[in-house]
Amino acid sequence: MRITKDKLKKLIKTKLNKAGLNEDHAETVADVLAFADARGIHSHGAVRVEYYAERIAKGGINTNPDFKFEKTGPCTAIFDGDNGVGHVAAKLAMDEAVTIAKENGAAIVGVRRMGHSGAISYYARQAAKKNLIGLSVCQSDPMVVPFGGAEPYYGTNPIAFCAPGINGELLTFDMATTVQAWGKILDARSKNKEIPDSWAVNENGEPTTDPFHVKALLPVAGPKGYGLAMMVDVLSGVLLGLPFGNKVSSMYRDLSEYRNLGQLHIVINPEFFTNLTEFMQNITNTMRDLNHIKPATGFKQVLYPGQDADIREQEYGKNGIEIVSEIYEYLTSDIVHRNAYDHKDAFAE
């Protein structure tokens, strides 16, 4: 079924507020999740609400965090999220990074002790909306086999980048360092759809098309994705003095425990390197150039990174966001959660 973004956001906020999140924090989380669904990133949208609601209700998210921000240098800082909801900590930390980059040309802000923060392109786009370049990386719990390995070590460890063009255009790149994010498996489960055999493996390390048999994800492009996952883990875990690799806390093992995750925002002010107007025009020129590349057989057009999500956002803005009926029924029900995730393994089984 389809509903408007505003209605979806209101339903999400109401559910999270009922679970125990305050009005302001529920508003921020709802905005991030509705953003994801509005761009077709359903793996990080409303499908996550019940999990968050259960963790909030069971005490695994600090609903009254004491956020602390400490500058450690002219362009560096640490934001302590006190294990509050990750979306709020990440957003506030990016606000601080934007302020530093506006003044000093660049900013690197680490976020310590936070919960899951959803689609991290949201935060990179925060910077780009201020005519800055935004880059954000974050760690996640181990569910990915390293290249050549038979058991998980790293998480999906996503990377998001965004640069501003003219007239509000944003060039956005958001990827997991796996062939697909775990949320895509969740989305396939919610729709009872098979997955490509290149996404994940079963308990025997063999490719599987059944989303319910997934026991580990595969790194994108083999050793290259493996290396990128390592890089993200160092920047958002080791660098911040947090648990890393297979020591990163599980999303589902105990929903009453804090997760202590890390995220790193890097923001660059183009004005310290070149003419801002020229930079933004050339970002737009890049987008147009890519669109005019001769398409390969089987393709209608070359899209710039993130353009598919831009197109979906425009379409959903006109016709409503497509939401699985089961998720809509949960959001409109009186149920806070159905005890569906606690004490599961990394794959919610």
**Tens digit of each residue's pLDDT (9 = 90 or more) over 48-75:** 999 999 999 999 999 999 999 999 999 9
With 90 as the cut, is the pLDDT of residue 233 above it? Answer: yes
Nearest to 29 by CA among 15, 18, 13: 13
The identity of residue 95, as a single letter, is D
Partner residues linked to 159 by β-bridges: 137, 175
In a 3-state reduction of DSSP, which class is residue 40? coil
With 70 as the cut, is the pLDDT of residue 349 above it? Answer: no
With 70 as the cut, is the pLDDT of residue 234 above it? Answer: yes
Catalytic residue among 87, 116, 265, 337: 116
206 vs 90 pLDDT, higher one: 90
Residue range 156-182: mean pLDDT, rounded: 94
Partner residues linked to 154 by β-bridges: 144
| Cβ–Cβ < 8 Å for 183, 44 | yes
Compute the radius of gyration of the chain from its Cα atoms.
20
pLDDT for position 166: 98
| Cβ–Cβ < 8 Å for 85, 61 | yes
Most confident of 99-108, 137-146, 148-157, 173-182: 99-108
In a 3-state reduction of DSSP, which class is residue 115? coil
Q: What is the pLDDT of residues 235-245, one digit of tens each?
A: 999 999 999 99
- The architecture CATH gives domain 2-282+306-331: 2-Layer Sandwich (3.30)
265 counts as catalytic = no
* Kind of pairing between the strands at 2-3 and 106-114: unpaired
